[in-house]
Chains A and B, each alone.
Chain A
């Protein structure tokens, strides 16, 4: 049987890992050797779905149909979609106020989008083990609420994976660190990824990883840094062009590259060519970038202090701080960590891989492979119910170790009431309406005078941080089943339907998939080449133009066939022919940009 895999389903990148005798190992793509899979999914009008690096490359051409940060939308309601989100994607309201993306002419839910990423990782793992992979541990931000966790579990199901456990990302990271260090004492895990921030404080003792407190922000990450840079770079571009999704997509990609470069270099340049052919270049010094993102980085301070306070600890009590997530490569973030905890963070393990490695270890623990290690995690947000006057009554405090359960007795307020309504929420605010609604349900009871029925309701949070509810009539001892429907989640029927629809996709053979992907690639280069020929044809000699046209014709012929190897070859041939052309276009735009600058300087 194939092993249980550990999956880091990240905002920007996803990975799959497994625990082997020598320790955890990230499984690379068998064809390309790539370890990170960009969490990008493109939905093309012909029904083709493209995942990973190819999808990310499609974004500038298909910005509205390419979903890059689906994790930000997991478990959210339509009401939570911001104006900024709407500038980037098209949304429609789904059943019961849930979010749907309108992509490639259809509406898809965030779990469906995530499921495409999970399927790709599953395929990767299956190729390595040469047998199907069916069971997985998936990581989630520690600060994910019940709805976001449910949505992640639904994504796993849609991808044909039995999700044995949802593990909190910082906790998984601590497993990867604790494995080789055998440390004792207090450890803080500072996890700043592409879209989410988590801080967890743990105590390590005798192989037990006990989370003492966790806090965070589910909408803060490296993506926000990129957006700030985009704002600066596009400041000179006129408003209409600057807000076009395709322009923003190009600018985001360029900003992301520049951000990475600034982690090592003191200055760099954000460079991109707009669809109009105009080149945009903007020099950025590290100091300027730091000034742009400082307030974002400072937003991590509050949650860190909160977590320390909840753990009853001071910064001096922390023996080690571990930096997790790609955004902790930013020097300003590292300095911020040092300011909070009075010590530099540990960065021994690649911050992009450490969570996946930890997920692999947890998968090994569940399979019975590491009986010396045990993880005790907590619920990140208080759970409670709405009581008289819209007040939020806490039943389980945040940072309570899970599994956790609490019993609450309910009775009736009026004579002959036939059911008791329960509204479950999660959050820290005093008023029910200020917290996140998780579920509402009715429990039927026998008709009796007010106050006589006694109903005992048990709220149980399992080791995944997911709620279930059972009720017992204390007078009769009869148990009632309670179906908890997450407020913005998928219903059982929806999942069944989606599973049926996805069978075609899952069972499609590998060859067909390769043909489709090769066609997508062919279309991209054909489109770009035709476009350049029309706009910049003057830069070519007749001979060059003829050779390119011949290569285009050859690729068009190959594209109509079913031979994906021939398609790859034709793509390769065309890209060789067009390479000098592309360089010339780039040079010319740069010269123009420089000329403009000189004019301005005069």
Chain B
């Protein structure tokens, strides 16, 4: 895969054509990020929802080796600042693009919309499970009897497994949706919103189940 555009841009140091590259191909000086470059461009990729994970990782590691501050420790202040900015951009690009869900949300953002645009809605066929989960979590919160707590935990774990399977299915379905020639934004938003919704619910369940076992928070 080649970079999307072939804009000519002079290296700030040696005036060679650096294009949209993060570092000059001739003198290896870190370049300022190209104006308007999106996260795909940061890793030298064209905009697209379908990505090869191995290729993405190779690009990330190569870019990190080129721009990471550890490689520019002995350079001038300007070089070090540019290395810091480029490195942060590379990390952000990889973190966003490697995860299909984060990538999809970023795609919506690039197209001027976001998850909230569709409004929060619980998918109809899930409503019963979601209602049951929330009710049981509340009961678990108030329950003091050990036997009752254990029964509730068991019940919630069953729900958790069902919801987790559903999320896994949704994530698998993303690949097919992304492969379409022109994915419909509404369809993407609906899928991603459901994943986000279930993700929050699963987080709540995990927290409730772990409370009082080993989930005590010691961070400060």
- By a beta-carbon cutoff of 8 Å, the part of chain A in contact with chain B is 80, 143, 145, 164-165, 205-206, 208, 217-218, 299, 301-303, 305, 362, 365-368, 371, 374-376, 381, 400-405, 427-429, 436, 460, 462-463
Closest A residue to B206 by beta carbon equals A309
Give 8 pairs: A residue, B residue, CB < 8 Å, sorted on A: A205-B61, A301-B214, A366-B74, A401-B95, A404-B91, A405-B88, A463-B68, A463-B69
Instruction: Out of A217, A375, A404, name the residue touching B70 (CB < 8 Å).
Output: A375
- The reply to whether the CB of B113 lies closer than 8 angstroms to some CB of chain A is no
What residues of B have a CB within 8 angstroms of the CB of A460 in the complex?
84, 88
SS class, residues of chain A in contact with chain B: mixed
Ranked nearest first, the 9 interchain pairs of A and B with the lowest CB-CB distance are A405-B88, A403-B88, A366-B73, A401-B91, A302-B214, A463-B69, A403-B87, A403-B84, A217-B218
Instruction: Please tell me if the beta carbons of A374 and B64 are within 8 angstroms of each other in the complex.
Output: yes
Q: How far is the CB of B86 from chain A (nearest CB, A)?
A: 9
Contacts of B89 in A (CB 8 A): 405
Q: What would 16 more interface pairs be, CB under 8 Å, given A302-B214, A366-B73? A: A165-B73, A365-B70, A367-B73, A374-B68, A374-B70, A375-B70, A381-B219, A400-B91, A400-B95, A402-B91, A403-B69, A403-B88, A404-B88, A405-B88, A405-B89, A463-B69
Complex contacts, A299 vs chain B, CB 8 Å:
218
Best-buried of B64, B65, B88, B216 by chain A (most CB within 10 Å): B88
B38-95 residues at the A interface, CB under 8 angstroms:
61, 64-65, 68-71, 73-74, 84-85, 87-89, 91-92, 94-95
Set of chain B residues within 8 Å of A208, measured between Cβ atoms:
61, 64-65
Closest to B216 in A: A302
Q: Distance in Å from the Cβ of A224 to the closest Cβ of chain B?
A: 13
For A406, the closest partner residue in chain B by CB is B92
Judge whether B181 is part of the interface by a CB distance below 8 angstroms.
Answer: no
A463 touches B91 (CB 8 A): no
**Distance of A405 Cα from B218 Cα, bound (Å):** 26
> Does B187 make an interface contact (CB < 8 A)?
no
Q: In the complex, what residues of B have CB within 8 A of residue A462's CB?
A: 69, 84
Closest A residue, CB atoms, query B68: A374
Closest chain A residue to B91, Cβ basis: A401
* Residues in A whose Cβ lies below 8 Å from that of B61: 205-206, 208
Of the candidates A305, A366, A375, A460, the one having the most CB atoms from chain B within 10 angstroms of its own CB is A366
Chain A contacts of B91 at CB under 8 A?
376, 400-404
- Is B217 in the interface zone, CB < 8 Å from A? yes
Do B219 and A376 touch across chains, with their CB atoms under 8 A apart? no
Note all chain B residues with C-beta closer than 8 A to A165.
Answer: 70, 73
Contact B218 A302 (CB under 8 A): yes
B199 to A: closest C-beta gap in Å: 13
Residue of B nearest to A398 (CB): B219
In the complex, what distance in Å separates the CA atom of A197 from the CA atom of B218?
A: 12
Contact in complex: A428, B65 (CB < 8 Å): no
Which A residues touch B71, using CB under 8 A?
371, 374
> Which among A303, A375, A404, A427 has the greatest number of chain B C-beta atoms within 10 A?
A404
Measured CB to CB, the closest approach of chain A to B66, in angstroms, equals 10
Q: B residues within 8 Å of A by Cβ?
A: 61, 64-65, 68-71, 73-74, 84-85, 87-89, 91-92, 94-95, 214-220
Across-interface contacts of B92 in A (CB, < 8 A) = 404-405
Chain B proximity of A156: nearest CB distance (Å): 15
Task: Say how far A478's CB is from chain B's closest CB, in angstroms.
Answer: 18
Question: Given contacts A301-B214, A402-B91, A403-B88, are A427 and B70 in contact (CB under 8 A)?
Answer: no
Among candidates A164, A403, A404, A429, residue contacting B73 with C-beta atoms closer than 8 Å: A164
Please name all residues of chain B whose beta carbon is closer than 8 Å to the beta carbon of A305 when the two chains form the complex: 214
Chain B residues in 8 Å Cβ range of A301: 214
The CA of A80 and the CA of B87, in the complex, are separated in Å by 35
Whether B215 lies near A302 (C-beta < 8 A) is yes
Report A-chain residues with C-beta under 8 Å of the C-beta of B85.
405
Residues of chain B within 8 A of A428, CB atoms compared: 217, 219
Our pick among A302, A374, A403 for the contact of B65 (Cβ within 8 Å) is A374
**A302: which B residues are within 8 A, CB to CB?**
214-216, 218
CB-defined contacts of B219 to chain A, threshold 8 Å: 143, 381, 427-429
Tell me the complex Cα distance, A362–B73, Å. Answer: 12
Closest chain A residue to B86, Cβ basis: A403
Query: Which residues on the A side are within 8 Å of B214 (C-beta)?
Result: 301-302, 305
| Cross-chain contact B88 with A366 (CB below 8 angstroms) | no
- Closest chain B CB from A468 CB (angstroms): 9
Known: A208-B61, A400-B95, A403-B84. A366 touches B70 (CB 8 A): yes
- Minimum Cβ distance to chain A for residue B81 (Å): 10
Residues of B within 8 A of A367 (CB): 73-74
Cβ of A521 to closest chain B Cβ, rounded Å: 40
B89 nearest CB across to chain A (Å): 8
| Minimum CB distance partner of A145 in chain B | B220
- CB contacts (< 8 Å) of B87 on chain A: these are 403, 463
The docked-state distance in angstroms from the alpha carbon of A428 to that of B216 is 12
Write the chain A residue with the least CB distance to B74. A368
Report the nearest B residue to A429, measured CB to CB: B217
CA distance A217 to B73 in the complex (A): 31
Using Cβ atoms and an 8 Å threshold, which residues of chain A touch B94?
401
B143 smallest CB distance to A (angstroms): 22
**In the complex, chain A residues whose CB is within 8 Å of the CB of B218:** 217, 299, 302-303
Q: How far is the CA of A208 from the CA of B58 in the complex (A)?
A: 11
**B68, B89, B215 — most chain A CB neighbours (10 Å):** B68
The answer to whether B73 touches A436, judged by C-beta atoms less than 8 angstroms apart, is: no
Q: B215 to chain A: which residues have CB within 8 Å? A: 302
How far apart sit A205 and B219, CA to CA, in the bound complex (Å)?
30
> Given the complex of chains A and B, what is the CA–CA distance between A298 and B167 in angstroms?
33
Q: Which residue of B lies closest to A167 (CB)?
A: B70
Most A CB within 10 A of own CB, among B84, B218, B220: B220
Interchain CA distance A205-B64 in the complex, whole Å: 13
A302 to B210, CA, bound (A): 10
Inter-chain contact A436/B220, CB cutoff 8 Å: yes
B residues within 8 A CB of A405? 85, 88-89, 92
A371 contacts which chain B residues (CB < 8 A)?
A: 71
Cα distance A299–B218 when bound, in Å? 10
A239–B166 Cα distance when bound, in Å, is: 61
